[in-house]
Structure 1
Amino acid sequence: MFSTTKKVLVVTAAVMSMSSMVQAGVPAAYTPCSACHGATGKSAIPIYPSLAGQQAAYIVKQLKDFQSGARKDPTMSAMAGLAKGHEQEIADWLATQ
């Protein structure tokens, strides 16, 4: 497992790269997701799944299931809430990665 310090460093690096990600065509709503799932949806951290290339309908369903509580995970439930209203945009972009 990653220590709290390592998690903070990963999140900090993601936040610092957010503006460059948006400039590169990454949906702004995806930028918080990139801390765990990678800047292009390809996770470098084995415990977090890569989302690149997933079918858009699957991604939308998973985000909505986390938002509604149908699927439970404390971190993802909170993070999926940040994507509310942007699920399809995020999913469409990830599907093309």
Structure 2
Amino acid sequence: MKKILLVAAAAALSVGSFSVQADGGQMYSSLGCSGCHGAGGKSAIPSYPSLAGKDAAWTVKQLKDFQSGARKDATMNAMAPMAAGHEQAIADYLAGQ
């Protein structure tokens, strides 16, 4: 019984990981981006920019600039590295919002 549960849990994690990698919307939410930038990238707080509808290439560049330190913001310099490898998926999701 324990082996079956373990196998089922491992399969769920594998499927979950794949869907997070493939789904920029899930990644955006799971990283907590919506806490500042709003659901679907539509910020309700003027000091945090809305990202919905932005050009995907622009969003990818901003994330990479925050990751490298080329662009400075204490919060984003800490948050952007968590999106490493998922920049394009997140950017494509936001562009479609």
Specify every segment of 5 or more residues in structure 1 that has no aligned partner in the other structure, as ranges.
Answer: 1-21
Amino acid at match of 1:38: G
Q: Report the equivalent of 2:85.
A: 85
Specify every segment of 5 or more residues in structure 2 that has no aligned partner in the other structure, as ranges.
Answer: 1-19
Alignment root-mean-square deviation, CA: 1.5
- TM-score under structure 2 length normalisation: 0.72
Cα deviation code 1:39-75 (max 9, x no counterpart): 1100011100000000000000000000000001110
What number of residue pairs does the alignment pair up?
74
**Higher fraction of helix:** 2
Distance (whole Å) between structure 1 residues aligned to residue 55 and residue 24 of structure 2 = 17
Distance (whole Å) between structure 2 residues aligned to residue 59 and residue 96 of structure 1 = 12
Runs of 4+ with >4 A deviation: none
Q: Which has the higher contact order (CA 8 A, sep 6+)?
A: 2
Report percent identity of matched pairs.
70
Contact residue 29 and residue 82 of structure 1 kept, 8 A: no
Structure 1 SS opposite 2:77? helix
Q: Report the equivalent of 2:66.
A: 66
Distance (whole Å) between structure 2 residues aligned to residue 62 and residue 26 of structure 1 = 16
Deviation at 1:26, TM superposition (A): 5.9
Contact residue 43 and residue 50 of structure 2 kept, 8 A: yes
